[in-house]
Amino acid sequence: MKRKFLFHNRLFLALGVASIFHFSCQRQSTATATASTAAPVAQEKTSEGVPASIYEGIEFDMPRVKETSFPNYSVSITKYGAVGDGITKNTKAFEQAINDVAANGGGRVVIPRGLWYTGPIVMKSNVNLHAEAGSMVIFSKDFNDYELVETSFEGLNTWRNQSPISGKNLTNIAITGSGTFDGNGDAWRPVKKSKMTDAQWKNLTKTGVLSDDGKMWYPTAQSKKGQVNNNFNVPDFKTKAEFEAVKDYLRPVLLSFINCKTVLLDGPTFQNSPAWNLHPLMCEDIIIRNLNVRNPWYSQNGDGLDLESCKNALVYNNTFDVGDDAICFKSGKDKDGRDRGIPTENVIVKNNVVYHGHGGFVVGSEMSGGVRNIHVSNCTFMGTDIGLRFKSTRGRGGLVENIWISNIDMINIPTQAISFNLFYGGNSPTMDAEQGGSGTPAAAKPVPVTEETPSFKNIWMKNITVSGADEALALQGLPEMNLQNVVIENAFLKAKKGITAVDSDGIQLKNVKVLADQGPALTIFNSKNITVQGLTFKEGQGQVVRVLGPLTQNVKLDSKDFKNANTQINKGKDLKASAVSVK
């Protein structure tokens, strides 16, 4: 009886499982049949819409960013034979799944859990590439998988290897989900010996080739051949054949979207990019949110996000931990950028966290097409080389204006918490062993103002907290084109050194507390129309403000800020008698 009872129980269990399986197959079959018909009428948002709070408190007129919407049609890459073992190359499966969705009017390409090794992925309009939890897309380290294509890198028109993820002239595209896209950047990037431990360097140099001085590792001899000192990472070649000869050197950005409209990046991790990580170029209506953007700290040109010549964008709720600038706005370099003439404008940046990076929020240095109408708020920078970073140099041209920054918290900043440097020379903020100083002159000579002269003006910052930095604030303009109209209000700045203003015009400090471990709280050199009110500093500090330079004029200090202005304010011998007033 007992055996008979067990047999019946097992039989009923088997029948139950079979019926559930049959029912699920029927549902799947029906869904597939429905999805395979002509483009369905039903549309679905990729995810929840943009919260109203993202648009709150914006200081300029900006249209609502258009949001993506896709038909309710879905195809898994496994339908076309993709194998998630981390070894099988799935380039064709990705291509066929994307073509399928595009041909059926749009929808979702699903990347299930697994390790999906692949060559480059080329997006199409109306496609949402959705990486499910536990999925990881690993891009091939076979350089032959990537064709040489015409593109723009570091603001210059050039040839470059095809990006692992790319799209050009597309509309309504998205990459969503909680999976990971890994660019296999370690296979591409040169590495400096100074950024490795001895054990790491010994292991790395088992492959590849070294520079002549032994201080740089390259993955191949062809990669080493491409290293030239002009134009940083963009060789000054004229023909495609010249670029082909150094193809391995021409590292691609991980994601390149060019001239695309209505773009969404929502949820995934993007990591280990060969060069920059995310590079939207000349795009419009872009939402970048809930991303985890990662690169090794030693990665050459390992930027997080480079938003270049883009219009109407939202960047919120992201985390960055990268090898170069984290959130960076650009618009082309020198003549190529001026000829393009497309600024980055109408952008909201909110609720982002940056760990390592050369800069937390950055403008430049390739800003020749201009940057304007930018709101940045509620961001935290922890251990970032520079917190808020503005950089350019002679030869760029371009106008950066109308930028509002508020509610920024910074801690353990190795160099300047806030930096304006219009003599940017291309070096990282924290110098490598083989780099010299920045080369910024203490008293530069003016040159004629031309279309190549960059201009930064009308920048407001308030509610800034800095708890530990080497330098609180560095304002460095050009003698022929001063940094203009920068306002710092309600700031707490704790750093080794205080504030320095050089070749600046129209600087206002309102309710700023500077706790500097050495030197004065504020130094002003060859600057004009400076207003300081509500300045506080360390109790018992001797010299608080130092004013220098024969070109300095109209510096207004508030007498209420000083117990003894005669001893706390130091005036240089070359200063005009009327240059400073204390009232």
Sign of CA dihedral 193, 199, 204, 210: positive
Of 216, 212, 206, nearest in space to 298 by CA: 216
Choosing from 336, 358, 385, 505, the catalytic residue is 358
Choosing from 285, 306, 324, 503, the catalytic residue is 324
d(CA 136, CA 146): 20
Q: Quick check: 306 and 283 in contact, CB under 8 A? A: no
The DSSP call for residue 567 is: H
Q: What are phi and psi of 140, to 5 degrees?
A: -60, 145
> ∠ at Cα 193 (189, 195), nearest 5°?
80
Q: Quick check: 514 and 492 in contact, CB under 8 A? A: no
d(CA 284, CA 262): 6
Place of tokens 């001239």: 259
* Catalytic status, residue 22: no
138 is written with which tokens?
A: 């690993």
Place of tokens 């010549």: 309
Cα of first residue to Cα of last residue in the chain, in angstroms, is 106
d(CA 123, CA 136): 18
Burial 463-496 (b: 16+ CB within 10 A, else e): ebbbeebbbbbbbbbbbebbbbbbbbbbbbbbbe
* Catalytic status, residue 336: no
Q: Quick check: 405 and 361 in contact, CB under 8 A? A: yes
Catalytic residue numbers read 324, 358
